[in-house]
């Protein structure tokens, strides 16, 4: 990389020098849960806070992260994540534990085989092309709300690949309900963490509940329709409505719990369909949005990527065989997910007495894995706040310890969609950069806000010029 280029330090969170307590903690947590992580979290292996009777541990060293996510995972469960998301996602794959989780994971796994995923590349490119067509209709250099547009495009991708029977009505319902649900996010996370009962009144609760009902009923309707068609015809058959696809919905409908022999009932199917809709599009949309912002701020990397994409594709639409040769595009994506991890923090609850780094941990303690802070740890990353995709050049990436870079989590609960997301983001980013140039809007830099995903606070407007 050219060392003469100016260093880019994009927007970051200013951590409090000391742990916050009382009202200051509550106010910061509701505004942005990442703002309660004190500076020590970016410098030490383990930081312990006592909040009333609740022990809260911030875990950042690779060895301790591995203990929580892999070696001692039975002692650390997803209770507060489940409490936060269960009203929406029930007890699907993301929000269940133990045997209930395992068979749902096994039932979904065949959809994510690498060779099958490559077949989705044309769908990734098509969804991006329709977004570009929309932008093309606007005046040159018009400001576009990139974050909103990326959410639409990645939603189209999930609908076209894993769940092809979804229609536009479901799309609109998902988008609207998701906004309502996110609005309730800050309080929801706080209540989940404090162990408050789900029925306790709180701001945003009504809108969150309305969003949940809308979303679940849209997906239930879609499922009923599909059940009726499958009962009439069987999968893979040509019908008056078209061919019944062998998609994620079909696989989930066919799956059997190895212990009980039972298949999923409608509620479990809706739980999982919604999980894949939401986990599968919001996250990739965030990754793409933050990446476009970084590229808009770095003309040097914009030029490097443009050259690579032209060299690899020869100006043709991106195809599956191009993906592994888009090395620098993937480096930039990885660096973007280091600075702005789409899932900024994971949490687990301790369910059996244990020790971490010599500290005794009581059942009920909350263990936070602040991915955002782990990715900017001052002892583990050189100039952690600087945007430098060179960190992920092959020879450098090999030296990064496994549990120090975790955009997709780790251990058995690692993101099932990781390979899908990397292919999707690479194909979509390359297609966007082939056809468009991005520039920041002065005074409108986004700041990172932790909800379930890392949102760009203030939105993410960029000036877009089509090539
Ligand atoms: C850049 C994009 C993505 C990021 C950063 C991401 C991140 C994550 C993370 C960190 C987890 C682990 C949560 C935990 O341990 O508490 C997770 C789980 C999950 N992700 Fe993703 N994800 C992405 C894309 C996707 C896609 C495209 C899909 C589906 C098509 C997906 C489906 C899931 C599911 C179902 C789980 C739960 C897995 C389990 O508990 O067994 N994700 N994701």
Q: Whose CA is nearest to atom 37 of ligand 1?
A: 94
Q: Which atom of ligand 1 is nearest to the CA of 105?
A: 41
Q: Which atom of ligand 1 is nearest to the CA of 108?
A: 35
281 membership: H or E segment, kind and range: helix 266-297
What is the distance between the alpha carbons of residues 98 and 100, in angstroms, rounded to a whole number? 5
pLDDT at 132: 98
Expressed in angstroms and rounded, the spacing between residue 413 Cα and the centre of ligand 1 is 9
CA angle 25, 30, 32 (to 5 degrees): 90
Expressed in angstroms and rounded, the spacing between residue 139 Cα and the centre of ligand 1 is 37
pLDDT at 196: 67
What is the distance between the alpha carbons of residues 179 and 174, in angstroms, rounded to a whole number? 9
What is the distance between the alpha carbons of residues 416 and 397, in angstroms, rounded to a whole number? 22
Expressed in angstroms and rounded, the spacing between residue 463 Cα and the centre of ligand 1 is 30
The model carries a pTM of: 0.93
Which stretches of the chain drop beneath a pLDDT of 70?
A: 1-4, 165-171, 174-175, 178, 181-198, 200, 233-245
Mutation pick for ligand 1 pocket among 108, 279, 286 (CB with most ligand atoms within 8 Å): 279
Expressed in angstroms and rounded, the spacing between residue 417 Cα and the centre of ligand 1 is 6
What is the distance between the alpha carbons of residues 335 and 185, in angstroms, rounded to a whole number? 27
What is the distance between the alpha carbons of residues 291 and 35, in angstroms, rounded to a whole number? 22
In this structure, CATH architecture of domain 23-440+462-466:
Orthogonal Bundle (1.10)
The strand ranges marked E within 141-265 are: 142-145, 238-239, 242-243
As a 3-state breakdown, the chain gives helix, strand, coil percent values, each rounded to 5, of: 55, 10, 30
Measured from CB, residues less than 6 Å from any atom of ligand 1 are 78, 81, 93-94, 105, 162, 275-276, 279-280, 283-284, 287, 342-343, 346, 407-409, 413, 415-417, 420-421
Q: Which atom of ligand 1 is nearest to the CA of 414?
A: 12
What is the distance between the alpha carbons of residues 322 and 459, in angstroms, rounded to a whole number? 32
Q: Which residues contact 153 (CB under 8 A, 6 or more apart)?
A: 127, 128, 130, 131, 285, 288, 428
End-to-end CA distance of the chain: 26
Q: Is 5 helix (H, G, I), strand (E, B) or coil?
A: coil
Expressed in angstroms and rounded, the spacing between residue 454 Cα and the centre of ligand 1 is 14
What is the distance between the alpha carbons of residues 294 and 374, in angstroms, rounded to a whole number? 20
Expressed in angstroms and rounded, the spacing between residue 414 Cα and the centre of ligand 1 is 7
Give the domain ranges of the chain.
23-440+462-466
pLDDT at 286: 97
């Amino acid at each position: 990389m050219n060392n003469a280029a100016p260093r880019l330090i994009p927007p970051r969170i200013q951590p409090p020098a000391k742990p916050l307590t009382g009202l200051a903690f509550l106010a910061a947590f509701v505004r942005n849960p990442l703002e309660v992580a004190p500076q020590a979290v970016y410098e030490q292996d383990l930081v312990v806070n006592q909040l009333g009777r609740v022990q809260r541990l911030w875990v950042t060293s690779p060895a301790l992260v591995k203990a929580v996510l892999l070696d001692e995972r039975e002692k650390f469960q997803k209770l507060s994540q489940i409490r936060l998301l269960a009203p929406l996602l029930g007890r699907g794959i993301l929000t269940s534990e133990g045997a209930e989780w395992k068979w749902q994971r096994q039932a979904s796994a065949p959809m994510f085989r690498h060779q099958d995923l490559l077949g989705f590349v044309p769908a990734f490119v098509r969804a991006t092309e329709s977004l570009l067509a929309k932008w093309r209709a606007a005046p040159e250099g018009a400001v576009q709300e990139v974050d909103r547009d990326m959410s639409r495009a990645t939603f189209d991708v999930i609908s076209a690949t894993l769940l092809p029977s979804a229609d536009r009505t479901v799309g609109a319902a998902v988008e609207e309900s998701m906004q309502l649900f996110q609005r309730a996010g800050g309080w929801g996370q706080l209540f989940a963490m404090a162990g408050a009962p789900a029925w306790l009144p709180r701001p945003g609760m009504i809108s969150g509940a309305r969003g949940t009902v809308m979303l679940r009923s849209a997906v239930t309707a879609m499922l009923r329709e599909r059940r009726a068609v499958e009962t009439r015809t069987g999968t893979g058959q040509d019908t008056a409505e078209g061919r019944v696809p062998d998609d994620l919905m079909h696989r989930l409908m066919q799956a059997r719990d190895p212990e009980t022999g039972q298949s999923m009932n409608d509620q479990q199917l809706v739980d999982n369909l919604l999980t894949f809709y939401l986990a599968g599009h919001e996250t990739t949309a965030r990754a793409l949005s933050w990446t476009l912002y970084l590229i808009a701020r770095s003309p040097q990397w914009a030029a490097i990527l443009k050259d690579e994409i032209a060299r690899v594709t020869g100006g043709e639409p991106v195809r599956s065989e191009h993906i592994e040769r888009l090395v620098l595009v993937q480096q930039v994506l990885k660096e973007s997910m280091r600075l702005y991890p789409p899932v900024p923090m994971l949490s687990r609850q301790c369910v059996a007495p244990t020790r971490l780094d010599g500290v005794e941990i009581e059942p009920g303690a909350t263990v936070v894995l602040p991915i955002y802070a782990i990715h900017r740890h001052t002892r583990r990353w050189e100039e952690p706040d600087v945007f430098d995709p060179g960190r992920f050049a092959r020879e450098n990436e090999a030296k990064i310890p496994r549990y120090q870079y975790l955009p997709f989590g780790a251990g058995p609960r690692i993101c099932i969609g990781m390979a899908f997301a990397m292919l999707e983001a690479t194909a979509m980013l390359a297609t966007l950069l082939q056809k468009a140039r991005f520039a920041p809007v002065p005074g409108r830099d986004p700041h990172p806000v932790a909800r379930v995903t890392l949102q760009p606070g203030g939105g993410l407007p960029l000036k877009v010029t089509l090539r």
